[in-house]
Structure 1
Amino acid sequence: MNILANVPSSYGFVILIYLYSWVMLVYLAAQVIEARTKYKVKYPAMYSDKDQMFNCIQRAHQNTLEVYPQWLVFQTIAASLYPLTASVLGAVWVTSRFFYAWGYYTGEPEKRMNGAFGYIGYFGVILMSFYISLQLLRIF
């Protein structure tokens, strides 16, 4: 029996978004690894008390890791019934994390807001998850 026969073909986009998010995480981690060498920040220190630039690079990665688990949950719920819409919203969120990081990498933390458009994708999948829960409960 082909188990994929019951999965909509559009779910392939969902998987691609998860892979795209993995690429984003690897990229952000690589930037921190490179910055550790450049700014001489040894493990296990999370931040530098000497160099704000390293801290900006580290925060871009750390902030993404702080929100990533929640995004994964809501992305998965939203994609369970609406794979195409969830994929578009996921692509928006993941792409925004690059802009967020690149803004931080300027050394001017306020420029991280270049990635603020990601809230569309983030809150989009949260609202979709809420809508799905109401559908399951036969409330909506």
Structure 2
Amino acid sequence: MATVLDLLPAEYGFVALAVIASTVTVVLQGGSVMEARKLYKVPYPDMYATVIEVDGKKYTNAKDPESAKLFNCAQRGHQNALESHYYNLVLAVTGGLAAPVAAAGSLIVATIGFREYARQYRCAGPENRNNKLALCKYIGLLGLLGSNFYLAYVLLASKLH
């Protein structure tokens, strides 16, 4: 008796490995946010550090205003990966049905970009978050979109002929 696994392309295991690597990367990025939370003394459940100014004096829920900025950079870099991780996973899983090696490779490239984006945001601030390897997240997304367009083409072409 055939199972669903028998219907998948032989190389689909690469997609599963890429999904695992991408998920582990995003989880580990969360660890850097937890470290920043402790270092900059931003309490739970606050997602971001805030700074307000009253009569020329600054108040913050972090250790100090500069710590608030540094924590927010770490948090925002990780949040960006979280915001786009789900659709990258969906695109890899679906695009991998027709082009598993391309989809897996594209997800790995995107994951490298997410990791580097978060690192640059945390270490160099928002103005430097999209430099060099961080741009891989866009290249990976294009590859994932391409594998899904190919899947759509294969499915539609087989039904139209």
1:74 to 49, 71, 91: 91
SS at match of 1:106: helix
Identify the residue that residue 59 of structure 2 maps to in structure 1: none
Greater fraction of residues in strand: 2
Q: Distance in 1 between matches of 2:116 and 2:146?
A: 23
Q: Among 106, 109, 114, which residue is 1:89 paired with? A: 106
Larger Rg: 2
Please give the per-residue CA displacement for 1:11-42, whole angstroms capped at 9, x wherever unaligned: 11111101101111111110111111111111
Could you say which structure has the higher helix fraction? 1
SS at match of 2:16: helix
- State whether structure 2 residue 105 is matched by structure 1 residue 104: no
Q: Over aligned residues, Cα RMSD in angstroms?
A: 1.7
Corresponding position of 1:14: 15
Which ranges of structure 2 fall in alignment gaps of 5 or more residues? 51-64
**Which range is displaced more, 4-13 or 117-126?**
4-13
Shift of 1:6: 3.9
Structure 1 counterpart of 2:21, one-letter code:
Y
Identity of aligned residues (%): 37
Cross-structure match for 1:65: 82
Residues matched between the structures, number: 139
Moved over 2 A (4+): 1-9
Amino acid at match of 1:119: Y
Match of 1:128 among 144, 147, 153: 147
C-alpha displacement of 1:98: 1.4
Other-structure match for 1:24? 25
